[in-house]
Amino acid sequence: MNRYLKFYSAIFKISFNNFLAFRLDAFLNTIFSSGIWAFFNVFSMYLVTLRVNSAFGWKTGELLLISCIYNIIIGVFSTFFARGFSQFSDLIDRGKFDLFLLRPIDSQFYVSLHTASINSMVRTLLGTVLAAWIITIYKIPVTLTGIALFIVGALFAIFLLYSLLFMLNTLVIWAPKLDNINELFYTLRSLGRYPRETFRQLGEFGFVMISPFVLIMSTPAKLLLGKASLYDFGELILLTFAMFVLSRLFWKFALRFYTSASS
């Protein structure tokens, strides 16, 4: 465990130095694009809810708050995990993944965390500022217990998000040309900005399939607002553990089919 922590802290330091090496690019490009998306996610929800007072039992302010929470969670998630997967299909397609398998470290750990996206922290920061603003403007009651529960819920949500992304990326071992699979994931995860009840219209099967993506945002939001039941929290925790174990097993299974550069 200690070895892994040391290894990751080295990776984080390298990523941070890389970020600072191209300061102008970092500020003009990466921070700007992270910031603009963070703002836009909240603004687009503002547009959608402009002509309605509530939707599926959620008030306008609460829906906007979910969009802010989306930015907070996605910001943390992207800082640690997203960039590691951005070139996964290329690693598999060109056989560069051999290097990941040959190192004396767990391949899932290494492929998931081999680089960090420092600029994504901006998204978390902006999401937090916007959340505080929305809470003040709409006078949404938030307690310290709610914030503490939200942090715990958000951590589980991030691990659930990771497990889903990891499973989806594992498919690339069979189809290395699917370099846009992460884009699909990013679109699917944005479903979390909408109330879970929206997707009941898709029928039982559609609702169950979409649920993990929706739980990622709605359960932490409910925890923050003091609306979550024990069932909601338990559902998130159980699903996170189940998906993480499943992603691990799926990875081990898929590795048998990796055939290096000829795959």
In this complex, which beta carbon is closest to other proteins, that of residue 9 or of residue 180? 180
The binding site for other proteins (CB under 8 A) comprises: 25, 28-30, 32-33, 36-37, 40, 43-44, 47-48, 50-52, 55-56, 175, 177-181, 183-184, 187-188, 190-191, 194, 197-199, 201-202
Closer residue to other proteins in complex, CB, 6/200: 200
Q: How far is the CB of 33 from other proteins (least distance, A)?
A: 4
The nearest distance, CB 229 to other proteins, in angstroms, is: 22
**What is the dihedral sign for C-alpha 157, 123, 224, 209?**
negative
Q: Tell me how far, at minimum, the Cβ of 257 lies from other proteins, in Å.
A: 17
Closest CB to other proteins among residues 48, 155: 48
* d(C-alpha 38, C-alpha 124), whole Å: 8
- Shortest distance, CB of residue 149 to other proteins, whole angstroms? 27
C-beta pairs of 135-143 under 8 Å, 24+ apart in sequence: 135/65, 137/61, 138/59, 138/60, 138/61, 138/62, 138/64, 138/65, 139/61, 140/61, 140/62, 140/65, 140/225, 141/225, 141/226, 142/224, 142/225, 143/226
Q: Which is nearer to other proteins, 175 or 249 (CB)?
A: 175
- Tell me whether residue 1 or residue 50 sits nearer to other proteins (CB atom): 50
CB of 2 to other proteins, least distance (A): 37
